[in-house]
Amino acid sequence: MESSKPHAVIVPSPGVGHLVRSIELGNRLVADQNFRVTFFVVLEFQASAGESQLIQSAIAQKLLDIVVLPPVDVSGQVGPNSPTFTRLTAVMQEIRPTLRSAISDLKLIPTAIVVDVFGTPVLEIADEIHMLKYVFASSAWPLALILYAPILDKEVEGEYVDLKEPLRVPGCKSVRLEDVVDPLLDRTKHEYKVFLQVGSEMRRSDGVLVNTWEDLDTRTLKAIREEEGFGSVSVYAVGPLIKPAGPSASRSELLDWLDEQPIESVLYISFGSLGVLSAQQITELAWGLEMSQQRFIWVLRPPRKKDASADRGDDALNYLPEGFLSRTQKLGLVVTQWAPQSEILCHRSTGAFLSHCGWNSSLESILRGVPMIAWPLYAEQKMNATKLVEEGVAVRSKIAPTRGGGG
Ligand code: UDP
């Protein structure tokens, strides 16, 4: 009987990376655990191409009750270039009244709510109507850092990046100062306070779900569960949850082209849904590909408009060296649209992935047995890259890292 099933509400923050793993979590709860799941989609402005595709395919699967909430605009509160943590938590604050009334309109009262790390502002709704509250995090080591951040704040004086030694997180591998996540770079900034607040809220939740598995993160999971300083929050390794490669993905010309290439010969290049390179980095990468004669598929986005002198408009192809496309016609493909990444990583011709180390991409690559070249850009990607190199599934590129290339 429908009404006897546990009913969970899942509310990811905007963004493809958050949506993709939350949909998979919901699908598993329904298909494997006999839950009923109401899935609220929160959008900033409007759905991106990637978000639209994910929502459409989740609707077609018919496992989740999907409710798309009216888009939120926080441009009056936060600037266009404000950091991810500040912007997304502001969106999740702003959605509260709409979400509150949408939840109270549900026929079946939910027993639990699941948000991601940016969604802790909506957990107050769970307190009001007595739902259990869970936070779904991506990778384990950055999770340990955020849970421990309120203690670090008391332990450490001055800026973390000025310390003489790596950041100590009990029981876990210490965090190299060059890998420290963006919100911890400047303690005077609002983003830092938001990060601490999120860490505190997560410690007060009924549990944290994390997209990993026991063998991949044995040390970190044990530390969070047993060491002092993480609060007494329960942590559950529920991964790996990745988007399955589906036959539904329209048979794009990319896959036809891959069919023609030798086995494991193609380098797939993508920096996720938000990562961008600078104009100069695009030029250098293009020359590198051409000079090495390496086969490639490159998902290319235009650079962020920071440097007016390098601005060549919104068409990403304008940033490639002149004649690059014709000279590399037989060597590779440049894609400016949304790429079928899961299908590309599953293809036998794909030999390696030059990646920004977003956690979804990392898991997709690990599970499809595709080695990575790590080019982390922002958020927790540098920590992910270090972890992946240590696990022997990635090598680090020698390219100088950048701060703030996305998100
Ligand atoms: N993705 C895709 N096509 C693209 C770019 C990204 O299918 O052109 C998918 C990718 O497979 C992954 C997600 O979008 O599932 C990106 O998540 P990730 O955590 O790797 O990076 P984020 O976008 O959150 O930085």
Query: For residue 366, how far is its CA from the centre of ligand 1 (angstroms)?
Result: 14
- What mean pLDDT comes out for the span 167-183? 96
Q: Which ligand 1 atom is the nearest neighbour of the CA of 138?
A: 19
Rounded mean pLDDT, 319-335: 97
- The identity of residue 70, as a single letter, is P
Residue 70 pLDDT class (50, 70, 90 cuts): very high
Note whether 114 and 25 are within 8 A (CB). yes
Supply the pLDDT for residue 407. 47
* The two structure tokens encoding residue 53: 């595709």
Least confident range from 48-52, 185-189, 329-333, 403-407: namely 403-407
Per-residue pLDDT for 250 more than 80? Answer: no
Place of tokens 């990444």: 341
Q: Is the pLDDT of residue 402 over 70?
A: no
> Residue 37 has what pLDDT?
98
Question: pLDDT band for position 339 (50/70/90)?
Answer: very high
Q: Within 10 A of 21 (CB to CB), how many other CB atoms are there? A: 26
What is residue 404's predicted lDDT score, i.e. its pLDDT?
41
Helix (H) or strand (E) holding 140: helix 140-155
**Pocket residues for ligand 1 (CB within 6 Å)?**
15-17, 20, 50, 243, 270, 272-275, 299, 338-339, 341-342, 358-361, 364
In this prediction, residue 304 has a pLDDT band, given cuts at 50, 70 and 90, of confident
Q: pLDDT tier at 293 (50, 70, 90 boundaries)?
A: very high
Neighbours of 377 (CB within 10 A): 23
Residues carrying an active site annotation: 18, 116
Question: pLDDT at position 310, please?
Answer: 75
The candidate with the shortest Cα–Cα distance to 370, out of 387, 386, 385, 355, is 355
Tokens representing 262 are 């030798």
How far apart are the C-alpha atoms of 202 and 218, rounded to whole Å? Answer: 21
* Ligand 1 atom at minimum distance from 299 CA: 8
Report the pLDDT averaged over residues 35-54. 94
- Split at pLDDT 50, 70, 90, the class of 118 is very high
Q: Quickly list H helices, 105-189.
A: 123-129, 140-155
Q: Token pair for residue 104? A: 């109270």
CA 257 – CA 198 distance, rounded (Å): 45
Please say if the pLDDT value at position 94 is more than 70. yes
- Mean pLDDT value of segment 168-183: 96
Sheet holding 112-116: strands in order across?
65-68, 36-41, 7-11, 112-116, 132-137, 207-210, 235-237
Residue 248 pLDDT more than 60? no
Q: How far is CA 231 from the centre of its chain?
A: 25
Please give the pLDDT value at position 244.
87
Res. 313: pLDDT tops 80: yes
337 pLDDT more than 70: yes
Give the global pTM.
Answer: 0.95
Structure tokens given for 232: 């007494």
In sign, the C-alpha dihedral spanning 374, 376, 380, 383 is positive
Among 360, 368, 378, name the best residue to mutate to test ligand 1's pocket (greatest count of ligand atoms within 8 A of Cβ). Answer: 360
Q: Specify the ligand 1 atom closest to the Cα of 357.
A: 20
Q: Mean pLDDT throughout 162-168?
A: 94
Question: How far from 21 is each of 16, 212, 332, CA to CA, in Å?
Answer: 9, 11, 30
Q: Residue 292: its pLDDT value, please? A: 97
Domains and CATH numbers, the chain: 2-237 (3.40.50.2000), 253-396 (3.40.50.2000)
Report the b/e string of 148-176 with b at 16+ CB within 10 A: bbbbbbeeeeeebeeeeeebebebbbebe
Which residue lies with its CA nearest to atom 2 of ligand 1?
341
Report the nearest-CA residue for atom 13 of ligand 1.
17
Q: What is the whole-number distance in angstroms between the Cα of residue 362 and the centre of ligand 1?
A: 10
Task: Please list the residues that pair with 353 across neighbouring strands.
Answer: 268, 372
What's the half-sphere exposure (Cβ side, CA atoms, 13 Å) at 140? 27
Mean pLDDT for the chain overall: 93
| Predicted confidence (pLDDT) per residue in 208-245, tens digit | 999 999 999 999 999 999 999 999 999 999 999 999 88
Q: What is the DSSP letter of 31?
A: H
What is the reported pLDDT for 247? Answer: 63
For residue 231, report the distance from its CA to the centre of ligand 1, in Å. Answer: 32
| CA–CA dist 43, 155 (Å, integer) | 37
User: What's the confidence (pLDDT) of residue 403?
Assistant: 46
Contact of 358 with 388, CB cutoff 8 Å: no
Residue 155 CA to ligand 1 centre (angstroms): 36
- Whether omega before 240 lies within 30 degrees of 0, making that bond cis, reads yes
Q: How far apart are CA 331 and CA 328, in angstroms?
A: 5
Query: What does the DSSP assignment read for 214-279?
Result: TTTTHHHHHHHHHSTTSTT--EEE-----PPP-TTS---HHHHHHHTSPTT-EEEEE-TTT----H
Report the residue count for the chain. Answer: 407
Question: Which pLDDT does position 307 carry in this prediction?
Answer: 64
Residue 219's pLDDT is: 98
